Amino acid sequence: MISFPGTDANRSVPHRGRFARLLAGSSLSALILAGCTVRPEPITPAEHVQRAQADYAKIYDGYVPVDHPLALPDAIARALKYNYDAQLSQQQITLQERQVDLAMASMLPRLALNAGYTARSNDPAAQSINERTKQVSLDYAFSEEPAHVTAGPEFTWTVLDLGLSYYQAKQQGYQALVAVERRRKVIDEIVRKVQDSYWKAMVAGTVLPRLKPILARAERILEASREATRRQLSPDMPMLEFQREMTQVVGQLHHIDTDLNDARAQLATLINVPTNVPLALAQSDLDRALPSATTDTHRLEEIGLALRPELREEAYKEKIDRQDVYKEILKMMPGFGILANFNYDSNKYLYNNTWGSVGVQAGFNVANIIRGPRAISAAKEAVEVSKTRRLALSVAVLSQVNLAYQSYASAVEDMRTSRDVMDVERKISGVSKNARAASSLSDAQLIQRELEEIVSELNYYHNVGLARYALVTVYMSCGVDLVPPTVELDDLAKMSQEIGGGISPWANGKLPEVELPAAAPAPEPS
């Protein structure tokens, strides 16, 4: 038994008041101290630097060197394996699945193990008063020790909690499926960025080595022309027109050079390769043209409405809202539960220190008669809002599908036109070289022709890249996965092989072709 000061029952009241004031003062001091420690301190600049260094090391901790020229499937595989957005989307799925397990565990009955210890500073003595005579029938007595221990398991099971937990688990299950659809969208966006950056980087690796020396010669001739103009050694108007044309062409080439170099840096970032590490890409046929954009847009619209991740997500959200209707209906029901426990008390004055009890309880919140119908109506309205939101999004999807297809058709046409222009510029360049050999064309004019040829070639490859990007956008607008959704992220080589087969339709310029399953029969109206 714990001994406290002032346990003597004959102690005067002032002593007990002093003990109460001391206890209250100690509690107030503890609360004040706790309040002083709640305010957080800002992170110091040194801690921010330390965090940044740790994050930088973590980013490149799993870096796998590129030991062979990268093909497009290899680049996509590296991006999906090492990109943190893809990893985050997978972790979100895992988290939601854990939440499903937790929600299902909430359906289990409550089984609690209780234990306690009670101590007081004196005996819990009390008088007994006769109800009728109001006379003292028993002098001060007690039947409980000042200090004793209680323990025992307690079992509780209620039908209402079970039902609510059931619908909550279903909602969490739908949330896990929503995370799957969101991951599809994240992966498609990563693949689209990799495809665009890879194409530009490949063009840069092929064309820029030819561009650099011609660009350097052009800048020297342009500077010589400006110097001649300043010295007035030649007629002003023809020379100024030449400078204007050369300046425009050189400026355009510098812009293209910057864009292509930025694409290499962006590709390196996407596939987790340091930007200062040389990146070799596999040789590919840059002149491989895409087929003409001819297809049934109505079929693409059907595919988009069935497969778009956003619409599937909204369909799951509608199901989540529908579970709230069932939960509100269930709350209108009377509560029914079973209670059972086993108790132990160390109080030596008890005749039975251990005992068990069981009971059944039922209850009904009368306020639910007023609240319940309103809550059910609000939950049903939320379902209707979800339906309307999905329909509005469906209209937007139809618009996106048609715009994506029209953009692809326009990009294919621009690609073909730029190819014709490039062919003409190549012929002009060939004639110019022959004229230069015959001394009927100046070196400056030859350089101008060569630059215009390079510009037309880069413009053609740029339009081919836009057409390929537009085709990938058509796939995304239709909700067709750009890579197989079942790709395993463990083995990088196997992953590249599977992706290579999965991306062959859009990599070879084919429009989406998906066989949709037959629609499920509509449920009968209830």
Max mean pLDDT among 24-28, 54-58, 162-166, 300-304 falls in: 300-304
Find the mean pLDDT for residues 445-449.
76
Average the pLDDT over each of 24-28, 206-210, 427-431 and give the range with the smallest value: 24-28
What are the backbone dihedrals phi and psi of residue 78, each rounded to the nearest 5 degrees, phi first?
-65, -40
**SS3 for 286?**
coil
pLDDT in tens, 267-284: 888 888 887 788 888 877
- pLDDT-based confidence at residue 292 (cuts at 50, 70, 90): low
pLDDT in tens, 105-135: 888 888 888 888 888 888 888 888 888 888 8
Residue 90 near residue 183 (C-beta atoms within 8 A): yes
For residue 1, the model assigns a pLDDT of 39
What are the backbone dihedrals phi and psi of residue 262, each rounded to the nearest 5 degrees, phi first?
-65, -35
Q: How many CA atoms are closer than 13 Å to the CA of 25, on its beta-carbon side?
A: 6
What are the backbone dihedrals phi and psi of residue 10, each rounded to the nearest 5 degrees, phi first?
-90, 5
- pLDDT-based confidence at residue 32 (cuts at 50, 70, 90): low
pLDDT in tens, 82-102: 877 887 888 888 888 898 888
Considering only residues 454 and 477, tell me which one the structure prediction assigns the higher pLDDT.
477
The candidate with the shortest Cα–Cα distance to 305, out of 389, 382, 396, is 396
Residue 476 near residue 188 (C-beta atoms within 8 A): yes
Average the pLDDT over each of 159-173, 308-322, 423-437 and give the range with the smallest value: 423-437
Distance in Å from the first CA to the final CA of the chain: 68
For residue 475, the model assigns a pLDDT of 93
- pLDDT-based confidence at residue 288 (cuts at 50, 70, 90): low
For residue 426, the model assigns a pLDDT of 86
For residue 110, the model assigns a pLDDT of 81
- pLDDT-based confidence at residue 41 (cuts at 50, 70, 90): confident
Max mean pLDDT among 409-418, 506-515, 517-526 falls in: 409-418
Token pair listed for 432: 């110019």
For residue 16, the model assigns a pLDDT of 46
Token pair listed for 261: 């170099």
The candidate with the shortest Cα–Cα distance to 492, out of 21, 48, 55, 78, is 78
**Position 421, amino acid:** V
Find the mean pLDDT for residues 351-358.
90
Residue labelled with tokens 């003595």: 125
- pLDDT-based confidence at residue 30 (cuts at 50, 70, 90): low
Find the mean pLDDT for residues 222-231.
76
Max mean pLDDT among 38-47, 156-165, 168-177, 217-226 falls in: 168-177
For residue 259, the model assigns a pLDDT of 79
Angle subtended at Cα 251 by Cα 201 and Cα 422, rounded to the nearest 5 degrees: 65
Considering only residues 32 and 122, tell me which one the structure prediction assigns the higher pLDDT.
122
Mean pLDDT of all residues belonging to the chain: 82
For residue 9, the model assigns a pLDDT of 41
For residue 8, the model assigns a pLDDT of 43
Token pair listed for 268: 């390196």
Find the mean pLDDT for residues 250-269.
81
Sequence-distant contacts of 246-254: CB under 8 A, at least 24 apart: 246/218, 246/221, 246/222, 246/448, 246/451, 247/222, 249/218, 249/448, 249/451, 249/452, 249/455, 250/215, 250/218, 250/219, 250/222, 250/451, 252/455, 253/211, 253/215, 253/451, 253/454, 253/455, 253/458, 254/215
For residue 312, the model assigns a pLDDT of 94
For residue 5, the model assigns a pLDDT of 41
Can you tell me the distance from the alpha carbon of 132 to that of 223, in angstroms, rounded to the nearest whole number?
Answer: 122
**SS3 for 459?**
helix
For residue 81, the model assigns a pLDDT of 86
Max mean pLDDT among 136-140, 244-248, 294-298, 356-360 falls in: 356-360
Kindly report the pTM of this predicted structure.
Answer: 0.77
Considering only residues 2 and 501, tell me which one the structure prediction assigns the higher pLDDT.
501
- Percent of the chain residues past pLDDT 70, beyond the cut: 87
**SS3 for 330?**
helix
Dihedral (CA of 58, 62, 67, 72) sign: negative
Token pair listed for 160: 């209402």
Residue 313 scores a pLDDT above 90: yes
Domains in the chain with CATH codes = 53-110+172-340+378-507 (1.20.1600.10)
Residue 313 near residue 181 (C-beta atoms within 8 A): yes
What are the backbone dihedrals phi and psi of residue 288, each rounded to the nearest 5 degrees, phi first?
-70, 110
Considering only residues 27 and 459, tell me which one the structure prediction assigns the higher pLDDT.
459
Can you tell me the distance from the alpha carbon of 513 to that of 118, in angstroms, rounded to the nearest whole number?
Answer: 74
- pLDDT-based confidence at residue 445 (cuts at 50, 70, 90): confident
Find the mean pLDDT for residues 294-323.
91
For residue 10, the model assigns a pLDDT of 43
For residue 526, the model assigns a pLDDT of 39
What are the backbone dihedrals phi and psi of residue 6, each rounded to the nearest 5 degrees, phi first?
80, 30
For residue 303, the model assigns a pLDDT of 92
For residue 448, the model assigns a pLDDT of 75
Considering only residues 113 and 443, tell me which one the structure prediction assigns the higher pLDDT.
113
